[in-house]
Structure 1
């Protein structure tokens, strides 16, 4: 029998604005358009984060700008 591997679809990469954790031992980061706060804390270690860029696969965030649409009181 002969099986041919299908050609993989090419993933489009783009330079993306991200937040990086400032703690050296933590590798935490998040895309800026998925962050809720203007200056988020790391979700892994709660350290402050700094803005940077990364080359990442293109994603669409269909829920608009989460920072603008966020309303109400924070629930702990």
Structure 2
């Protein structure tokens, strides 16, 4: 499909399971399927992480 006037095709957003850092000072998070650990540590601050659902752009 062609888009004119430098308009880009809209990106679809989907609900995705993620791991989110529990530390108040850190905003780290990662997609659930990017970790091999059952309960990963935050890659930024090494704190615990909890599971949650976020609406983020779909990866193809």
Q: What TM-score does the superposition give when structure 2 sets the normalisation length?
A: 0.86
Q: Which has the higher strand share?
A: 2
When Rg is computed on C-alpha atoms for both structures, the one with the higher figure is 1
How many residues in Structure 1 have an aligned counterpart in Structure 2?
57
SS in structure 1 at match of 2:33? helix
Please list every run of at least 4 consecutive aligned residues from structure 1 whose deviation after the TM superposition is greater than 6 angstroms: none
Partner of 1:7: 7
Structure 2 unaligned residues grouped into runs of 5+? none
> C-alpha distance in 2, partners of 1:59/1:32?
13
Where does the alignment leave 5 or more consecutive residues of structure 1 unmatched? 61-76
Q: TM-score, normalised by structure 1?
A: 0.69
RCO higher in 1 or 2 (8 Å CA, sep ≥ 6)?
Answer: 2
Q: Which has the higher helix share?
A: 1
